[in-house]
Structure 1
Amino acid sequence: MEAAAGYGARDAKAGDPAAADRVGIDPRVLLMLAEAFRHGKALGGWAGAEDVLRAASVPTDAAGVVIGNGGSGTPEQISPLLGQHRVWKRFPAHA
């Protein structure tokens, strides 16, 4: 994969570009997905998104992660989650 103009010292924290090359995904995308998941944001995608989410260490069966089959169901499933700002079910309360 040819280095994009954005790679360099500024993007060094985005992860190992060589590891991203193995899965064919920009390391900045993987970082963004991992951070969105960690911040409790809802994530949605269509068939094939599972590979990208797994590469970002996002469990595809976690609360607030919606994977559609390419039909119209995904927007309807994720819309209520987006309105909540965060998916708090992902972080159970401990006493």
Structure 2
Amino acid sequence: MRDAKPGAVAGGQPTLDSRIVLLVNEAYRHAQPIAGLADTRALWAAAGIDPQAPGVFSETDGATAVSALAEQLGTHRVWERFPAAAR
């Protein structure tokens, strides 16, 4: 079965692309820093991500998001996201 087309409109609202939701969720579970621009509440919710978690950046300003993400990428992983027993 094929996924719906990215950005398809359902009920007057664009839908989230399930491939993007999966990609973001996997990056989160692999302790990768992630950033989103503008209103990312629906994406974080669909991917099961706490927007206040370490290494998760939601910014309306692209320069701020890129700066925060670039700084975090230097650490490669965001281990603070998980309890010490899970590491």
Same fold by TM (over 0.5)? yes
What's the CA shift for 1:92?
Answer: 2.7
Give the corresponding residue for 2:38: 47
Secondary structure in 1 matching 2:57: strand
Larger Rg: 1
Give the corresponding residue for 1:14: none
Question: Which residue, out of 42, 52, 56, partners 1:65?
Answer: 56
Letter in structure 1 aligned against 2:49: V
Q: Tell me the number of residue pairs that the alignment of Structure 1 and Structure 2 aligns.
A: 78
Give the corresponding residue for 1:36: 27
Letter in structure 1 aligned against 2:21: L
Give the corresponding residue for 2:65: 74
Q: Measure, in 1, the Cα distance between the counterparts of 2:32 and 2:40.
A: 16
What's the CA shift for 1:71?
Answer: 4.8
Secondary structure in 1 matching 2:54: coil
Secondary structure in 1 matching 2:84: coil
Question: Which has a greater percent of strand?
Answer: 2
Q: Measure, in 2, the Cα distance between the counterparts of 1:73 and 1:54.
A: 22
**Alignment CA distance shift 1:71-1:85 (3 Å):** closer
Question: Which has a greater percent of helix?
Answer: 1
Runs of 4 or more consecutive aligned structure 1 residues displaced over 6 Å after TM superposition:
none
Alignment root-mean-square deviation, CA = 2.3
Deviations 1:18-60 (A, max 9, x none): xxx7671121111111111111010101121222121111111
Unaligned ranges ≥5, structure 1: 9-16
Give the corresponding residue for 2:78: 87
Letter in structure 1 aligned against 2:48: S
